Amino acid sequence: MTDNLSNQTNSSWVSVKTRFNLKALGKPIYPRATEMPPWQHVQTHSHTWGQLAYTSDGVLGVHTPAGKFVIPPDQALWIPPNLPHETFCRYGGHFRSVYIDEKYVKVLGNEAKLLHVNELLKAMILEVCNWPPNYQPDDKKLRFTQVFIDQLECAQTSSFFMPTAQDDRLLPIISELHANPGCNKTLEQWGELVGASTRTLNRLFHKSFAMNFSQWKQKLRGLRAVEMIEAGYTQQTIAEQLGFESSSAFNTAFKKVFNCTPGQYLKR
């Protein structure tokens, strides 16, 4: 794939409403398998049950009031009941959701969190999503459900998350870099545009994100790189479109964020 990132950035998201309108699950867990086309945006919604959002291929972005989550195929997002969220699928993919009765919130928590998906948990998610929606929760299904919840409870959490900015002076910077992560304006140049010193901006980045501007931008580019890797872009193309001087520089930056090279990530 060689299309220019600026063309992607200017593409129009196709905004749709959620098409799942049950008023109650009626079961401890409920399966839902969906396919999302490229550039689909599901508008903000919430529901009275929890949701485990998983991608069998592709990368899904989920935005909540707390910030933005990026979900690659080795992770899943726990979304607690009544949390407003919207989803973005830049490159398309196949997704598997398991809706979870609110009675499990005490176990899984009342805040959204990304979970690492090992081979066992992956197999269980795919198994549930093979169940028909009208399945009968007999003893075997209930025992399976309890083991499934146990696996979610002990799953490790992930850091594929970017918190929401807490200061208006950061919003123009963050908005531009989310839209165009290849932008190479320096913090000094941003300071001139938003009317703040570099020292002030770095202090605000630390306050909002517990990292400085350079680290924040590196993480943002890393998360976008994961999307592009999963979509089949070459490392050279990713490096060029994300503003790196070379594929070697991209590899180094990626390893700082994820503790592995892009090639190792893809194999994993």
Q: What percent of the chain is predicted at pLDDT more than 70?
A: 96
Q: Taking all residues of the chain, what is their mean pLDDT, rounded to a whole number?
A: 90
Residue 57, classified by CB atoms within 10 Å of its CB into exposed (0-12), middle (13-18) or buried (19+), is middle
| Average pLDDT of span 221-225 | 93
Contact 68, 161 (CB under 8 A): yes
Q: What's the CA gap between 137 and 259, in Å, rounded?
A: 42
pLDDT tens profile 91-111 = 998 999 999 999 999 999 999
pLDDT tens profile 151-197 = 999 999 988 898 888 789 999 999 999 989 999 999 999 999 999 99
Query: In this structure, is the dihedral angle defined by the CA atoms of residues 238, 254, 119 and 98, taken in order, positive or negative?
Result: negative
- Whole-model pTM: value is 0.83
User: Could you tell me the fold of the domain covering 165-267?
Assistant: Arc Repressor Mutant, subunit A (1.10.10)
CATH 2.60.120.810 placement within the chain: 5-154
| Average pLDDT of span 65-72 | 92
Q: Which class does domain 5-154 fall in?
A: mainly beta
pLDDT tens profile 43-57 = 999 999 999 999 988
CATH 1.10.10.60 placement within the chain: 165-267
